[in-house]
Structure 1
């Protein structure tokens, strides 16, 4: 029997397929004026031209870039590349008006419609799932302090090996993914495990860029979350753990001080965190 092994190409293909199935990227910009498209396209191209002229790029370097860009597409790694190196700036611009909680990038591994567990519950996980048990409590309110009952808290994160369910083989479909609803007091309680730092996939084209540039591929340990409520803007965030050596040099540039948790060790070996969210009303 052949055991399927997780690879960057397989994860990239899964991320690309998921993006196409879950997103409608062109519908949202269907009525964008040609002048806007022209302006954005020209600014991107001008930045490329300036780099070529300033750095005196050679034909060998140009052809290497062309081959690499083709390989990114063949590996299905465009979602990974864009989410790791570009999305943090898009998120910064898109949310700079907000008064409530800070957010950060979504990343390529979100899956909607995870199993719901009420206001207090445990995410699906394998028996003996590796990692320190984590109990997370919090509340969801509006910027005026109003408690938001029935707000949706969507949680997903990698396992102890850095793999996400539905994007790597051998992992149950909804492993370490779950949705929760706040109670009448706007509160929730989630039981999961504390994730570990991990490297983004390096056996594909993104890994070749990392190696060629002498970068590292590490992301600090983090919990992904989306928080939503009627009449309020969707908040997408990642929550981090103090002391992680890659909080200061996250390859995805997604860490913000406001997103650091404060874990408290418990007598039973678990850790607890209390972290809530303040949502901005829809403009």
Structure 2
């Protein structure tokens, strides 16, 4: 390529950048101009053929077609598997405050799930019985009363209710509230590791690049409390084999918990109504003040 051709290519980039110069919103102007510079730099680096660029456009088109307003969000899945979701999370939580670590939101959250009582069972499908409990605290160590814990996890088949239409509505989902001492308790099943959906463009990308689709076993939490920052996080089973190779890069050591085996004569069994062996996991969440 001649110097004049390279100069013409760079002049094109600057022409496109300049086209956004009059954007009234300063932040939007910066975002669009930076996007153009980085996207053009990528194209110059890899020099895609026209066929490859059309394949990329088809990939993004198909990704959009796999999205809906209920449970399937292929673009979130793409962001997750490229590590972008965790990078955005890291950038937005750079400063150590003593609060519980955040992680990815994921593509399978559903609004409007049932309100649950303290210790209520959210499992409407089979699985190994479990109790997950602890407290929600502020960074000063004070308990937070009335914090709302929105909880969701997969069934034993590795699928979420809503995603799997055979599951009862609201299975393994619910909204819990802490008591005056900041305590919460959830009766559920031990989570299982599972593959992210591979029936769409993201699955084909993973297959083509030799990556596995598995996520380690986890329970999702979104916790809201007045005068505190919303917390979006997971609790991971510390014994899971996929902790070091999570397909969406979401694992943090501070979010691992142990599921301890308990017998039917354990004090917690009597309190929460277990009539046989179960597993117990305990975790205290800490929220930042606004």
TM range (shorter): 0.7 to 0.9
The root-mean-square deviation of aligned C-alpha atoms, in Å, is 1.8
Which position in structure 2 is the counterpart of 1:139?
135
How far has the Cα of 1:120 moved from its partner?
Answer: 2.4
Unpaired segments of 5 or more residues in structure 2?
1-22, 68-73, 264-275
Distance apart, 1:83 and its partner CA = 4.1
Task: Find 2:38's aligned residue among 40, 43, 47.
Answer: 47
For residue 111 of structure 2, what is the aligned residue in structure 1? 112
1:11 matched residue in structure 2? none
1:52 is paired with a residue whose SS is: helix
Q: Partners of 1:209 and 1:177 in 2: how far apart? A: 30
Q: TM-score, normalised by structure 2?
A: 0.80
Match of 2:190 in 1: 194
Question: Higher relative contact order at CA 8 Å, sep ≥6: structure 1 or structure 2?
Answer: 1
What SS does the aligned partner of 1:189 have?
strand
Which residue among 172, 175, 182 is the counterpart of 1:179? 175
Aligned to 2:165: 169
The match for 1:243 is 239
Instruction: After superposition, give the CA deviation of every residue in 1:123-168 in whole Å (9 maximum; x if it has no partner).
Output: 1413xx1x22111110011111111111111110111112111222
SS at match of 2:136: strand
Where does residue 276 of structure 1 map in the other structure? 284
Q: Secondary structure at the match of 1:121?
A: coil
Name the SS for the 2:120 alignment partner.
Answer: strand
Bigger mean CA deviation after superposition, 232-241 or 242-251: 242-251
Asked if 1 retains the 8 angstrom alpha-carbon contact of 2:261 and 2:277, the reply is: yes
TM-score if structure 1 supplies the norm length? Answer: 0.82
> What is the rounded CA distance, in whole Å, between the counterparts of 1:70 and 1:177 in structure 2?
31
Query: How far 1:110 moved relative to its partner?
Result: 1.0
**Deviation of residue 178 (structure 1)?**
1.3
Which is greater in Rg? 2
User: Residue in 2 aligned with 1:92?
Assistant: 90
Aligned pair in 2 of structure 1 residues 159, 124: CA closer, same or farther (>3 Å)?
Answer: closer
Structure 1: tracts of 5 or more residues without a match: 1-31
**What is the 5 A alignment of 1:192-271?**
192-267=188-263, 268-271=276-279
Instruction: Measure the CA separation in 2 of the matches of 1:211 and 1:227.
Output: 35
| 4+ residue segments displaced more than 6 Å | none
Cα distance between partner residues in 2 of 1:73 and 1:189:
38
